[in-house]
Chain A
């Protein structure tokens, strides 16, 4: 007999009578036999403008608020690419249209953190930790998932950040492998003394301090990377990554996945979204990089996308009305993307709050009607063997699932 998800959650909530709503997230299907998806988190740093990246062209107020900056309606010169009869993509997102149309890409709008911060740094930090208020915990939301799932099958490459440092998203008890690229991740020691030197390095970093752990994992990672040799894998299925840092980094993530090195979670950043000034030109150059890279990755991974789920987020959105510098100041609600074979895509998930003055948040921002943690909690619930949501997102009770993942 199979318990329904709802029955199961009711049963497991019995022990905690004080909870009005069941607070446990479990696998969407039978038991714990589900293997976890590789989860990739892409953070758009600088507060990406959901209103111009996924313009609500069906809302006349959008055009009142942004007389110079709004993306025109579909079917006009430079107009939006229709996603449905209300939302569209900025034309710079065109390479993701096929992925959206095949149903592997979902857009979530008026989405973000309820935290009122308009500070990039505070808001990024909170979002990466998955918290509403600051705390002394050091770990990130995806890091907490890794810690919960950690067992002997986890190798040194279970978490990878493409870049010179690991973002907070992945911070957990073990090391995240940080590397800007695969090519240069090797030890340059004199060959005839390498063994002796490596042994001495191990001796010099013997403990459990951060530095010791990073050192030990560095030595292990160099060896495992050399053995797995991910660079032998060219892009498959005719995928062409943009010639950009982000493109190269996503290609490298793909190579790590193909090399079966044990990747469970990855985090990448794409910056430059703080469009206080000259926003149109900035988005025209950033969006093809974002969209082209994600589309190439989707093509490159092919059937592997059934075991990979990727999410895109940003710390907050931009002010609903444009400023005097052909840009937008800091706002609140923005958008998210979810990509994978098990994403119920081809759809914009939203509870559109509207853009009339009374509908706006604070100084004139798009309101947040979908908490980003709801999306992520659903992702962990549906695409991994699951974990208690109060560990994943302390202090947050996920509303009923939106059905973004299956």
Chain B
């Protein structure tokens, strides 16, 4: 039967391919899942996973005040978490020279990954951490690229985090002088006479204008000339690992970038001027706002919303909180339930957060194993475009299989170093109906279709075993599997 369906779809495709219509396969669900409330939708998109205490916070404050509070991130106390990170991942606080003197650079890389996951898991600054992830992925840097194993730590601390909820212009300036970025995109070898275009091209294509943003191949060459001499101090230098401009490697001739003349002898000012031109360019506003809306609203973001955001972007130098406020209060956002599939990190962290799992130190190895299998270890996307942010990429047999395996292993306490308290999730109830209702409230935060609720109850009762006279086991025996199943269900796949 399955094959018949596929065969029909196949034939149909052969004919429709000519007409160039349709963007994806038919999006038909037998019966749509009950939608989450606007409050739950907001929590789903603005955090790494909904918890009981977040729901209470939201109830108390309402959507507007909750968002206000999250946007004012510096006022949210995260000292407890930082204290723990100081002990567990001390290298994330190290200076360039301390990092340079680490015997094993991968120690720095591993600790930064751990800290990133722990912050997503435990930080009260949830929207801030979501934006840190967003910008880390926008300014994606591959963590294993030579000295980057150490220097991504600096990029994370001094480029991404200070500006994640600041202004795009400041973020772009900081990123253009990030040693990790300059090394990753080879700008340290970009010198007068024999320029290296890698950074110049990706700066325009991926960081600002977008591939159709109106730049030419000549612009790429001119921008590369502007950034000649932008490099990183070497090991012999007292400023090891810091940004360094080498005037003698800089092309001092005049340049033209996107129609603007950059006069000769500008020195370091050439590159800075390019950053300013790009930060204020209308294509940048459009490109960044499209990416933000793709992350928070829908894989195919509504043009109306992007246009409104792009105007605000241009009026405010890319003031990120203003963009988020406009977006998260828009009609387009509020009507976008189930439009965003959780990516693997969001899925796994979300499952750990809603189950209130407690993590021992060795848990990182288990998490890493599944992040690897699902293909989203922090900072390990090799090319500079960052992990994809739409469902098409992440929906695969491998994706579903590993989501299910992770959830089943998590709920069955088969991941070393991770445990959870079932009774806290079931409300310590023994009635199957109550257990299902409590679990769906704790884990899924939305109503179930009646048919699904009944199936879950039947599973707990072990109806099959009863009817075949095998005798049902205690209901509690089936709770872990039901938790795993709920996390494996479509109810939990969307943010």
Task: List residues of A whose CB falls within 8 A of some B CB.
Answer: 45-46, 117-122, 135-139, 144, 146-152, 154-156, 161, 163-166, 171-180, 184-185, 187-190, 193, 196-197, 200-201, 203-218, 220-222, 271-272, 274, 276-277, 323-325, 327, 329-330, 362-363, 387, 390-391, 394
Contacts and interface: CB of A to CB of B under 8 A. Distances in A.
Given A46-B383, A188-B405, A214-B397, A329 B197 contact: yes
Interface in B1-34: 2-7, 9-14, 17-18, 20-30
Contacts of A324: 189-191, 193-196
B314 to A, nearest CB: 25
A327 to B, nearest CB: 7
B13 A276 contact: no
Contacts of A214: 395-397, 399-400
20 contacts: A121-B205, A137-B20, A147-B17, A150-B11, A152-B7, A164-B375, A165-B396, A180-B373, A196-B462, A201-B404, A201-B488, A205-B490, A210-B25, A214-B399, A216-B2, A271-B383, A277-B196, A323-B194, A324-B191, A325-B189
Contacts of B392: 138, 171, 210
A274 B194 CA distance: 17
The 4 closest A-B pairs by CB, nearest first: A324-B194, A150-B10, A164-B375, A325-B189
Which of A117, A187, A204, A391 has the largest number of chain B CB atoms within 10 A?
A: A204
A61 to B, nearest CB: 18
Nearest to A184: B373
B29 A209 contact: yes
Contact of A138 (B23, B206, B456): B23
Contacts of A188: 404-405, 408-409, 414
Interface in B188-222: 189-191, 193-198, 201, 205-206, 211, 217, 220-221
Contacts of B198: 274, 276-277, 329
A203 to B, nearest CB: 6
B401 A176 contact: no
B485 A136 contact: no
B4 A152 contact: yes
Contacts of A117: 211
B30 A394 contact: no
Given A136-B21, A137-B17, A324-B191, 16 more contacts: A148-B13, A164-B398, A165-B394, A165-B396, A173-B9, A174-B10, A179-B401, A193-B478, A203-B452, A208-B25, A208-B27, A213-B25, A214-B396, A214-B397, A327-B186, A363-B217
A136 B452 contact: no
A147 B382 contact: no
B25 A136 contact: no
A277 B189 contact: yes
Contacts of A164: 373-375, 396, 398-399
A137 B393 CA distance: 15
Nearest to A164: B375
Contact of A154 (B3, B24, B464): B3
Nearest to B489: A204
A204 B2 contact: no
Given A165-B399, A196-B459, A136 B186 contact: no
Contacts of B341: 211
Contact of A204 (B23, B412, B452): B452
A190 B459 CA distance: 14
B485 A200 contact: yes
Contacts of A207: 28-30
B459 A210 contact: no
Interface in B259-309: none
A212 to B, nearest CB: 7
A196 B28 CA distance: 25
Contacts of B201: 118-119, 330
B375 A196 contact: no
A135 B20 contact: yes
Nearest to B398: A178
Nearest to B192: A324
Contacts of A391: 14, 17-18
Nearest to A395: B20
Contact of B398 (A118, A146, A179, A213): A179
Interface string B171-196: 00000000000000110011101111
B416 to A, nearest CB: 14
Contacts of B27: 208-210
B481 interface: yes
A49 to B, nearest CB: 14
Interface residues of B, number: 83
B24 A200 contact: no
B19 to A, nearest CB: 10
Contacts of A174: 6, 9-10
B391 interface: yes
A28 B404 CA distance: 46
A171 B393 CA distance: 10
Interface in B477-495: 478, 480-481, 484-485, 488-490, 493
B18 to A, nearest CB: 6
Given A154-B10, A178-B396, A211-B490, A325 B2 contact: no
Contacts of A173: 6, 9-10, 12-13, 25
B217 to A, nearest CB: 6
Contacts of A330: 197, 201
B23 A122 contact: no
Contacts of A120: 383, 385
A4 B29 CA distance: 50
Contacts of B480: 190
A151 B396 contact: no
A338 to B, nearest CB: 25
B455 interface: yes
B415 to A, nearest CB: 11
Contacts of B405: 187-188
Counting chain B CB atoms within 10 Å of each CB, which of A139, A166, A324 scores highest? A324
A170 to B, nearest CB: 11
Contacts of B205: 119, 121
A201 B3 CA distance: 19
A301 B217 CA distance: 44
A190 B408 contact: yes
Given A212-B29, A277-B189, A324-B194, A166 B401 contact: no
B180 to A, nearest CB: 15
Contacts of B18: 390-391, 394
Contacts of A323: 189, 194-197
Contact of B375 (A155, A165, A213): A165
Contact of B196 (A210, A211, A276): A276
B174 to A, nearest CB: 23
A121 B480 CA distance: 43
B14 A148 contact: yes
Contacts of A204: 452, 485, 488-490
B6 A150 contact: yes
A165 B194 contact: no
B464 A220 contact: no
A53 B287 CA distance: 36
Contacts of B490: 204-205, 211-212
B6 A190 contact: no
A176 B395 CA distance: 10
B194 A187 contact: no
B395 A210 contact: yes
A187 B404 contact: yes
A151 B481 contact: no
Given A122-B211, A187-B405, A203 B455 contact: yes
A321 B375 CA distance: 36
A138 B485 contact: no
B488 A362 contact: no
Given A137-B20, A165-B375, A196-B459, A274 B383 contact: yes
Contact of B20 (A121, A136, A215): A136
Contact of A175 (B4, B191, B397): B397
Given A187-B405, A207-B30, A323-B196, A197 B9 contact: no
